[in-house]
Amino acid sequence: MQLVLVTGLSGSGKSIAIRQLEDCGYYCIDNLPAEFLLPIARKLREDGTRAAAVAIDARSHATYDTVIESLSTLAQEHFDIRVLFLTASDEELVRRFSETRRRHPLSTKAEHHDEEVTLLEAIRTERRLLDPFATSAHVIDTTQLLPAQLRNWVQSFIEQPAAKMTLTFESFAFKLGVPGTADLVFDVRCLPNPYYDPELRVLTGRDAPVAAFLEREPLVAEMIDDIECFISRWYPHYRAQNRHYLTVCIGCTGGQHRSVYVAEALGRRFSRMAGTIVRHRALGNRAGNLKQTI
């Protein structure tokens, strides 16, 4: 049985992720107290459930060690365990809570003697409590991410075959900031830019004319070869550290042409590896799209 654990910061999009998993046929349980994870997972498999997802957040009464121990036990019982951790910048989370006028679940905590804390203090407390999960999870930074993008990324994550380590190539725009989930960052802004060709400006690195433009440039092929060589050389060493996920971020100025093309090319070159994912952070935020709150 496949079991997806969804966790992360309040306001980062866990509800969207759980709804997407439910739409994909998963049996979903939101806000599960962590001490119930082990017996419920066993019961679901006993009842014939083949895919389930549970959301656990900082409101759980169990400690991080308890959750990890339960996941380890389930893995030994041949469950296909996948952990999805959603996060966002402090500024983005403050904006979302302010726009929706929702109350942060940790606004009042016993450690503060039941006194009210500021929204930013609550966010940082939750980040500290959940930070250990991020070290062993597939992390998605939903800052400036559209709900549709998050749904697509969640679906891509669960559709990948089980692998010892998931390798993700993610394009992004430097003008919007480096993703907080990046393990490795490669800057391809030194490559020729299709943006300055008026006919290519509105296209993306996925479109054939842009690909043809970049394929004519020797530097582009050299850059891709060098990145492939680096990752191939060091991938076994990352895997030897018992890492489950490695996120390689490729950045250009706008995240639309060069970084997208390079990420797609690398994804094809590493497609032989189980668990290779390609995704594009900036494409969903191109002009003409209406940004919604996650």
Q: What is the mean pLDDT of each run of 10 residues along the chain (294 residues)?
A: 94 94 94 90 95 86 75 92 94 92 75 69 90 86 92 88 83 94 96 96 97 97 98 92 89 97 97 89 60 46
H helix or E strand, kind and range, residue 179: none
For the chain, give every domain's residue range. Answer: 1-159, 165-294
Predicted local confidence at residue 280, as pLDDT = 96
Q: What is the pLDDT of residue 135?
A: 79
Query: What is residue 221's predicted lDDT score, i.e. its pLDDT?
Result: 97
pTM for the model stands at 0.75
Q: Residue 17 carries which side chain, given as an amino acid letter?
A: A
Cα–Cα distance, 26 to 159 (Å, whole number): 12
Distance CA 255, CA 252 (A): 5
- Give residue 271's Cα distance to chain centre: 19
Is 168 in contact with 248 (CB distance < 8 Å)? yes
The pairing of strands 166-173 and 184-187 is: unpaired
Predicted pLDDT at 174: 96
Dihedral (CA of 150, 156, 159, 164) sign = negative
Which are the contacts of 62, defined by CB distance < 8 A and separation ≥ 6? 33, 34, 35
What's the farthest any 2 CA atoms get from each other in the chain?
65
| Alpha-carbon gap, residue 84 to 284, rounded angstroms | 21
What CATH number has the domain spanning 1-159? 3.40.50.300
Predicted confidence at residue 102, as pLDDT, reads 84
Give the pLDDT of residue 289: 35
